[in-house]
Amino acid sequence: EAGVTQFPSHSVIEKGQTVTLRCDPISGHDNLYWYRRVMGKEIKFLLHFVKESKQDESGMPNNRFLAERTGGTYSTLKVQPAELEDSGVYFCASSILGQGDSPLHFGNGTRLTVT
Amino acid sequence: SQQGEEDPQALSIQEGENATMNCSYKTSINNLQWYRQNSGRGLVHLILIRSNEREKHSGRLRVTLDTSKKSSSLLITASRAADTASYFCATFSPNFGNEKLTFGTGTRLTIIP
């Protein structure tokens, strides 16, 4: 079984530019989550999809962040325009059931550096 | 303030020794989960303990949960160099419509060969 894959693994962009992160969950996992870890701090929840629907996007920092999951398969997270404080590692995770009932399977993350 | 806070932030021990990490949280929970992250990799689920459970074992891992103190501990026995990683606790709280895992800042464990 292929795991959760994220692309790219690293991205370095300048302030004001746009970046799109992609996540391919484990096949058959309806639940997909985005988390972010800023250097040395806690891993923060961004949002949760159930299939193609946004179940909870309460963790999205602001309207510069846009997440989509068209067709309920892979998901993208776009940051436009990027700011310095957006730097961090963005993790995607998927699960069969809701995250309270089954463990999350994480990708290796995308390390985003905004200069 | 954070829901899950691990203690200590960093821990270095000799290979073969036991490692204990603690997690405190603030609100009532349905379950608490521990994850491991190796450098540059994603988080890997280790163990889930429900609010009505007090102790759980998985191989060399032992997790305890004290809901009265709102705390949990993760014990790794007979540590190995491969156990070097960051360990995170995550809590799942019964807040309908706002159900998500809340992670702490993690404990960085270093096993010295």
pLDDT at B6: 81
Q: Is the pLDDT of residue B96 over 80?
A: no
Tokens, residue B93 = 């709280």
A56·B43 Cβ contact <8 A: no
Average model confidence (pLDDT) across chain B: 90
Contacts of A33 in chain B (CB under 8 A): 100
Residue count of chain B, please give it: 113
Predicted confidence band of residue B3 (pLDDT cuts 50, 70, 90): low
Site of tokens 């602001």? A62
Report domain extents, chain B. 5-105
CA distance B76 to chain A (A): 20
pLDDT at B91: 92
CA dihedral B61, B64, B70, B71 (to 10 degrees): -50
Determine the residue of chain B that is closest to A108 in CA distance: B42
pLDDT at B7: 80
Contacts of B41 in chain A (CB under 8 A): 108-109
B43·A104 Cβ contact <8 A: yes
Average model confidence (pLDDT) across chain A: 93
CA distance B109 to chain A (A): 14
* 10-residue stretch averages of pLDDT, chain A, 115 residues long: 92 98 95 91 92 92 94 95 96 84 91 97
A99·B103 Cβ contact <8 A: no
pLDDT at B2: 42
In CATH terms, the fold of domain A5-114 is Immunoglobulin-like (2.60.40)
* Out of A96-110, B48-62, B85-99, least confident range: B85-99
Determine the residue of chain B that is closest to A3 in CA distance: B42
CA distance B67 to chain A (A): 17
User: Candidates 1.10.10.10, 3.50.50.60, 3.40.50.10860, 2.60.40.10; correct CATH number of B5-105?
Assistant: 2.60.40.10
Predicted confidence band of residue B95 (pLDDT cuts 50, 70, 90): low
| Distances in whole angstroms, Cα of residue B71 to Cα of each of B5, B43, B86, B103 | 9, 21, 18, 14
B103·A107 Cβ contact <8 A: no
Contacts of B68 (CB under 8 A, 6+ apart): none
Instruction: Give the residue-averaged pLDDT of B2-9.
Output: 73
Is residue A29 a contact partner of residue A95, using CB atoms and an 8 Å limit? yes
B57-81 residue pLDDT tens: 999 999 999 999 999 999 999 999 9
pLDDT at B64: 98
Q: Is the pLDDT of residue B97 over 70?
A: no
Report domain extents, chain A. 5-114
SS3 B81: helix
